[in-house]
C-alpha cells in the first residue's frame, strides 16, 4: 500500500489517509488525505472505513 | 474515510460558524477506491451510496456554510464532495472529471443531482460520456467553481471566504444553504411563497434587528464597488 501510495496510485482501503480537524477562529478546517505526520481526527478511528476514498491513481492533467 | 468526514462535519456544525474542506498534499480528492467497489455486493453498494448521500447532505443542508479549497484532482466522488459545499475555490492545478462512464459504473455520491444542477445535466453527461477532464478555468466558465486562484492559494482564499461568511447572521446563513436548494426544487409559485416565509422569519430575529439598526445608524459598512 505504501509503495503504491508513494507511486501516486494508492487507495484508501486501509484508511491510512484520514481527516484532520482544526479550528481557526470561527472556521473549522477539515483536511482530507491526512499526511502521516499530521494529527488525525478523531483520535479513535476504525482501520477500515465503510466507503473509502483514495488519492489519484493517475495524474493526468487537463485536456 | 467518509465516516471520518461525517464526524468532522458534524463537529464543525456544533462549534464553528463556517467550514473549509481541503486536501492535504497535491490533490483534493479522487473519490471511490474502485478496487473495493468492484467487490461490493449489490445491496451493499446501494447502502454505501445512500450513506454518501446522508453524509454529503450534512454538508449541503446542515447549519453552517462550507467552502471547498480544490487543488489537483477533484475526480468522481471528489467532485461530488466538492459539489456538496456551498462555495468552491480552485487553484491553477485543479482538474475535474467524472470517469464513471469509462469504468462501467455510475455516480453514487449525489452527483446526478448536485453536479447536474451545478453545471447542467448536458455538461455533466458530456463529462461522463467522453471522460473529458476540465481545468479550473473551464469549470469556472461552466459554473462549477466561483473562484480561481494561483497554484497553492486555494486554501488561504477559502479560509478568507469562510471567515467572512462566519460573520453573517447565523439564521441567514442557515436560510441560504437550506432554503435556496429547496426553493430551486419547487414550482415558481411555491418558491415565491416559501421565499416570503423565510424572508419574514429572518427579519424577526434579534440578529437582523441589530444589524438593520447598525446600518441605519451608519455603524455598519456600506456595499462598495468591487474596484473600491
Instruction: Give the model's confidence band at B208: pLDDT under 50 very low, under 70 low, under 90 confident, else very high.
Output: confident
Percent of chain A with pLDDT over 90: 22
Both B176 and B85 in one domain: the answer is: no
Q: What is the total count of domains within chain B?
A: 2
Chain A residues whose beta carbon lies within 8 Å of the beta carbon of residue B35? 11, 13
Inter-chain residue contact A31 with B23, CB threshold 8 Å? yes
Q: Which residue of A has its CA nearest to B97?
A: A62
**Mean pLDDT over residues B202-225, rounded?**
89
- Where in the sequence is the domain holding B52, given as residue range(s)? 2-166
Domain-located, residue A35: yes
Q: How high is the mean pLDDT of chain B?
A: 93
Please tell me which residue, A31 or B218, carries the higher pLDDT value. Answer: A31
Q: How high is the mean pLDDT of chain A?
A: 56
Query: pLDDT at position B32, please?
Result: 72
Q: How far is CA A47 from CA A12, A24, B45, in A?
A: 10, 28, 20
Domain-located, residue A6: no
Chain A residues whose beta carbon lies within 8 Å of the beta carbon of residue B5? 19, 30, 32
Domain-located, residue B228: no
Q: What's the pLDDT tens digit per position in B103-146?
A: 888 988 999 999 999 999 999 999 999 999 999 999 999 999 99
Query: pLDDT at position B42, please?
Result: 87
Amino acid at each position: 500500500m505504501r509503495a503504491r501510495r508513494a507511486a501516486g496510485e494508492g487507495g484508501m482501503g486501509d484508511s491510512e489517509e484520514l481527516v484532520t480537524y482544526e479550528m481557526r477562529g470561527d472556521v473549522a478546517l477539515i483536511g482530507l488525505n491526512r499526511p502521516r505526520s499530521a494529527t488525525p481526527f478523531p483520535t479513535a478511528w476504525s482501520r477500515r472505513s465503510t466507503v473509502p476514498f483514495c488519492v489519484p491513481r493517475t495524474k493526468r492533467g487537463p485536456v | 474515510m467518509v465516516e471520518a468526514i461525517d464526524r468532522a462535519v458534524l463537529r464543525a456544525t456544533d462549534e464553528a460558524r463556517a467550514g473549509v474542506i481541503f486536501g492535504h498534499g497535491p490533490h483534493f480528492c479522487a473519490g471511490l477506491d474502485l478496487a473495493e467497489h468492484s467487490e461490493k455486493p449489490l445491496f451493499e453498494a446501494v447502502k454505501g451510496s445512500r450513506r454518501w448521500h446522508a453524509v454529503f447532505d450534512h454538508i449541503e443542508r446542515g447549519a453552517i456554510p462550507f467552502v471547498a479549497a480544490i487543488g489537483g484532482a477533484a475526480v468522481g466522488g471528489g467532485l461530488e464532495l466538492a459539489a456538496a459545499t456551498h462555495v468552491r475555490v480552485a487553484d491553477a492545478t485543479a482538474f475535474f472529471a467524472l470517469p464513471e462512464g469509462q469504468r462501467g459504473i455510475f455516480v453514487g455520491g449525489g452527483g446526478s443531482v448536485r453536479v447536474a444542477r451545478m453545471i447542467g445535466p448536458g455538461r455533466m453527461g458530456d463529462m461522463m460520456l467522453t471522460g473529458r477532464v476540465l481545468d479550473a478555468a473551464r469549470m469556472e466558465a461552466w459554473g462549477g467553481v466561483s473562484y480561481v486562484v494561483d497554484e497553492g492559494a486555494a486554501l488561504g482564499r477559502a479560509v478568507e471566504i469562510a471567515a467572512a461568511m462566519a460573520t453573517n447572521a447565523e439564521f441567514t446563513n442557515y436560510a441560504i444553504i437550506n432554503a435556496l436548494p429547496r426553493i430551486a426544487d419547487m414550482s415558481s409559485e411555491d418558491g415565491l411563497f416559501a421565499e416570503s416565509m423565510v424572508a419574514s422569519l429572518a427579519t424577526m430575529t434579534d440578529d437582523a434587528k441589530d444589524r438593520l439598526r447598525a446600518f441605519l445608524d451608519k455603524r455598519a459598512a456600506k456595499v462598495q464597488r468591487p474596484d473600491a
